[in-house]
Amino acid sequence: MSAWTTDEMPDCTGRTVVVTGANSGLGLEATRDFARKGAHVVLACRDVDRGGEAASDVRGDVPGASLTVRDCDLASLDSIREFASTVDEELGAIDVLCNNAGVMAIPRGETAEGFERQFGINHLGHFALTGLLLDSLEAADDPRVITQSSGIHARGEIDFDDLQSEESYNKWDAYAQSKLANVLFAYELDRRHGDDLTSVACHPGYAATNLQYRGPEAESSRVKKALMGAFNRLFAQSAEQGALPMLYAATIEDIDGGEYVGPGGLFEMRGAPEEQSSSGRSYDEETAARLWELSAELTDVEY
């Protein structure tokens, strides 16, 4: 089997795709390729000005691209609800939701509702968004929800005794917990709603994006930022390559729900996308169900 590229993406004309964090990195590259294949893409962005710049960038490569930029701040449940309400009214049906946006290894902070930011944005924000868009997804013929995780999820544990890292905070442990939560959510969504939609988790391997700089910038550390830049140049694959697992999961015809897709190269850090196995903890159905119920309680979003 030859390595999968965007040349193998099917035509997406007539399909509507929502991408969170579409203004940069993996989200921007995925938006570009969805647009090339004819999809209408909704760029769900915390900063609509940057989202507009991203849309102009895509239109420069894809003249006539069908794009809509909408405000969606995953650190605010009010913003998520407003976005979902607007998109429901404008679109009616959503074929693909890419839960892509995220923050990584930042100093501890809190969302508008008081959630630890990495857990709140990476997991709870997308949990709420998916639930609020569920009717629009199920109105489509073959809806998919693609949730972006990371290989570091294998380091993660769901600490139900200190879920918001109030007693103890390590930025990498908090990030790993949020990424494990992404995989647990994707699998539990498949178990609960797999008859109506296809839910798949993915990860980009090590891709060079702005995400790696957020932590050093938040710490005002020029040294860490320079080191991260050096690592990116030496070891990372491009954002275009990093977006391939998400595009593969969103468009390949014969994928099943409950899959995990990532780069198939060295240490699963780079290369063409393939279906893989995630960590042992990610398949713990008791943890997944407990996390689901707690997430519904915290966000006040019932599926």
Q: Which CATH number fits domain 10-295: 3.30.230.10, 3.40.50.11610, 3.30.70.20, 3.40.50.720?
A: 3.40.50.720
Q: What is the pLDDT of residue 225?
A: 40
Question: Is the confidence at residue 217, as pLDDT, over 70?
Answer: no
Cα gap 134→196, rounded to integer Å: 10
Radius of gyration of the chain (CA): 18
At 220, the pLDDT band (50, 70, 90 cuts) reads low
Q: Residue 269: what pLDDT?
A: 86
Look at residue 218 in the predicted model and tell me its pLDDT: 55
| pLDDT for 207 | 82
Q: In terms of pLDDT, which residue wins out, 296 or 254?
A: 296
pTM across the whole model: 0.92
Q: Please give the mean pLDDT across all residues of the chain.
A: 92
Query: What pLDDT, on a 0 to 100 scale, did the predictor assign at position 210?
Result: 62
* pLDDT recorded at residue 219: 53
Q: Indicate the range of 64-68, 73-77, 147-151, 218-222 predicted with least confidence.
A: 218-222
Report the distance separating Cα 99 and Cα 104, nearest Å. Answer: 15
Q: How far apart are CA 282 and CA 33, in angstroms?
A: 29
175 catalytically annotated: yes
Residue of 169, 175, 187, 283 with catalytic role: 175
Q: Can you tell me the mean pLDDT for 246-259?
A: 96
- CA torsion through residues 156, 162, 164, 167, sign: negative
C-alpha distance from residue 136 to each of 88, 127, 132, 263, 283 (Å): 6, 15, 9, 30, 28
pLDDT, average across residues 69-83: 98
Nearest one of 33, 57, 2, 71 to 242, comparing CA atoms = 33
Q: What tens digit of pLDDT does each residue of 136-178 get?
A: 999 999 999 999 999 999 999 999 999 999 999 999 999 999 9
Q: How confident is the model at residue 267 (pLDDT cuts 50, 70, 90)?
A: low
**Contacts for 267 with CB less than 8 Å, ≥ 6 apart:** none
Cβ(292)–Cβ(188) below 8 Å: yes
| Domain-wise residue ranges, the chain | 10-295
Instruction: Tell me the pLDDT tens digit for each residue of 85-104.
Output: 999 999 989 999 999 999 99
Q: Could you give the CA distance from residue 247 to residue 151 in angstroms, rounded to a whole number?
A: 17
